[in-house]
Structure 1
Amino acid sequence: MPNTELTEFIKKAIGKVPVFSMRALQLLKLAADPAHHLTDIINIVKQDIGLTARVLKTVNSAAFIRHAEITTIDRAITQLGETIVVGLAVMEAASRQFKTDLSGYDGLPGDLWRHSLKTAIAAKKIGHFSVGTVKENMAYTGGLLHDIGKSLTSDFLQNTAQGISEQINEGKFGEYCAAEREIMGQDHAETGFLLATHWHLPPPLPQVIRFHHHPADSPEPIRPLVYTVHLADILAMMTGCGTGADTLQYRLDPKYSEYLQITEDDLPRLILEIDEEFTSLLDTFQSPA
């Protein structure tokens, strides 16, 4: 099948994906507004019974509980912080995609979810090294959603993973994205961008998803954020959380050092912190609602 035809099939598949949660969209747009307050987040969460229950369950989980059980949403959100709360809303809204079996990448069940969570945690921490302003909640959410396009492209890559890996080793393709474009006419990053647009996700999230493998091509104002997610993605793969045959089959853009003041001496401590938080949160966030 010509890749132009596959591209049309992918676009049709995107059109069939259910709309994004209205509350999650409200929270994402609010989080991107520098003038917002935590009370604004609380008021939106209170309007969603399911999200309220998820927040209360999370704050009282082993990963977060400190002393007595928390029973009010105000206290729960104050303790968790808006980054985690907005992340919970995104996890719930995109749960169907996170649960996708990435058989087209020879991935294992749950690989997409685990990789996305670890990338989000890494991005949240790496963002503090940025030479520009990187909002923690945008880094975390960008990390969660960066590979969401794979939930769609996997179906169009059945029985190709071994062949792609061999051709990368032989030098035909420089990285996995190039093979995806050869087969489908677009890669998972472009597909994720189209899905984010279908969902009406607020900027800069669609652009972060689109350029996370090629951050130098992103608009200059958002490059610190895109490089943050780019490096977080690589670190997640390096520390054992990939999505199958494509793990570590992408290039690290060396220009990340122009946007992130992170040194080799920082990496061991950073990786340890990422691993500790990931292990702590994995059981709590094991299965998106």
Structure 2
Amino acid sequence: MPAFDLTTYLERLGMERPAVPDAEALRQLQRAQLRALPFESFDPYLGSAPDLDLDVIVEKILHRRRGGYCFELNALFGAALSALGFQTRRALGRVRKGLPEGGPRTHLLMTVTIGEERFIADAGFGGPGALEPLKLVLDVEQDMTNGRYRLIRDARTDETVIERWTNGQWGSLYGFDSAFVVDADVAGANHICATWSRMPFPNHLMLAGFDGNTRIGVFGRNVTRETAEGDTRTVVTSEAEFASLVRDELRIGVDDRMIAAAWARIEQDTPLPAEARGIAEKTL
């Protein structure tokens, strides 16, 4: 396998190579990737499962300036961390988003060991995950740039669950365990996410990223913009508005054909009423 193109990766993130693989470097890398590389599910929404060959991911995200979903974004992140000398380990999580238990193991993340400390490294979660790595410690509130988080233990499922403080209460994002993850696990999870009708990706276009300090989450034609002052929710009403959102705000390099094909599907869906959008967006 050819060496990972770390130079192009760092250029895409707009940062210099860290001097040492320490906790501060990990923090800078995760924050930079989340800000630079958007979450997007155009491929499964338009009928194809993403190719998880690392060379294909590099071409798609670094050279064609697309985004990806967790299997692509965290594969890229993991390759970069390994090239920089970090000790990483993959994990598969069950997305919960407020529910008492998750679905199938279909979220790829990593843990990173630095000295005596372990961190959750995740640059591929489409929901409101932490902008910086969380320390892998239980029952300790951790204030990140974009919110307050904590990890708890679910004794019934034997999972570590990430929670975020939202609207005056703790809400679960996803849970994961310590099972060893092999390539076949990831390939199977990718296939399920991209093709199973009960998963959201074949049925809804989901996008997420940052425009400056504003986090933008998209579920079909429904858009949520999160800032320190609060959230605003809007509905996209035209293909031109959709194209501007994708290309100008989220900076996803998709061509006119993909824009038109995605919008044609979105137009078939009835816009969600405002009170229902938050429920639907929990699938992000």
For the aligned pair, the TM-score class normalised by the smaller chain equals: under 0.3
Provide TM-score, normalisation by structure 2: 0.28
More helix by percentage: 1
What is the TM-score with the length of structure 1 in the denominator? 0.28
Higher relative contact order (CA 8 A, sep 6+): 1
Q: Hey, which of these two has a bigger chunk of strand by percent?
A: 2
